[in-house]
Amino acid sequence: MNPLAERYPRTVVTEKARFELRPMTIDDERIVLDFARTLPTHDLLFMRRDITQPKVLSAWAREIAAENIASLLAWRDDRLVGCSAVVRVPLSFSPHVGDLRVLIAPAVRELGLGRVLIQESFLVALALGLEKLTAHMTADQRAAITVFEDLGFRGEALLRDQVRDVRGRKHDIVILSLDVAAHQAKLELYGLPEAFES
């Protein structure tokens, strides 16, 4: 069963903006490709593959159809401004782990969209029965790391010189993780699940 079918589309309102969220489908391949190509190259270094390439987006769409990726798109004024993906590999030795990827357009950063997409992805992980979420980012993305940490993610590893940008410079990758069940229990203890489920 698709964990996104009942919850989306939906409108979310932060303190500073309103966004429309809906699941990504195979029909969104071109618009997501165009969105990815508007992002600073540095923002994409944490991705396992270069999503500015059409064949990579096609593979992403196929994985959505196979229900190995649950991906959300965020719109503001009919413009795609963000996306998230919970990626899992059911036939691996880590079927209980999901890899969370979040991309936000520079124009809407600091409007709370990153936090929204992380929270929504947490609910997706629960619906999929995942036990752990991981997130990768370059070590210099301090603002993004802070948002993840504020939502319960903790540093797990630092991979030195893991990626190389278009100029040949190497960058460290930080891996953060979240124990999904423990985080859910903490939310319930403090009576907070409703904040995510509204």
Domain of 117: which CATH number? Answer: 3.40.630.30
Residue 158: inside a domain: yes
Residue 30: inside a domain: yes
Per-residue pLDDT for 173 more than 60? Answer: yes
Q: How many domains does the chain contain in total?
A: 1
Residue 106: inside a domain: yes
Which residue, among 26, 118, 94, 19, has the nearest Cα to 65 in the 3D structure? Answer: 26
Cβ proximity of 166 and 89 under 8 Å: no
Per-residue pLDDT for 71 more than 70? Answer: yes
pLDDT band at 6 (very low <50, low <70, confident <90, very high): confident
Residue 122: inside a domain: yes
pLDDT band at 191 (very low <50, low <70, confident <90, very high): low
pLDDT band at 166 (very low <50, low <70, confident <90, very high): confident
What is the extent of the structural domain holding 162?
10-197
Q: What is the 3-state secondary structure (H, E, C) of 117-171?
A: HHHHHHHHHHHHCCCEEEEEEECCCHHHHHHHHHCCCEEEEEEEEEEECCCCCEE
Residue 159: inside a domain: yes
Q: Which pLDDT score, from 0 to 100, does residue 22 have?
A: 96
Residue 3: inside a domain: no
Residue 117: inside a domain: yes
Cβ atoms within 10 A of the Cβ of 128, count?
Answer: 19
Residue 4: inside a domain: no
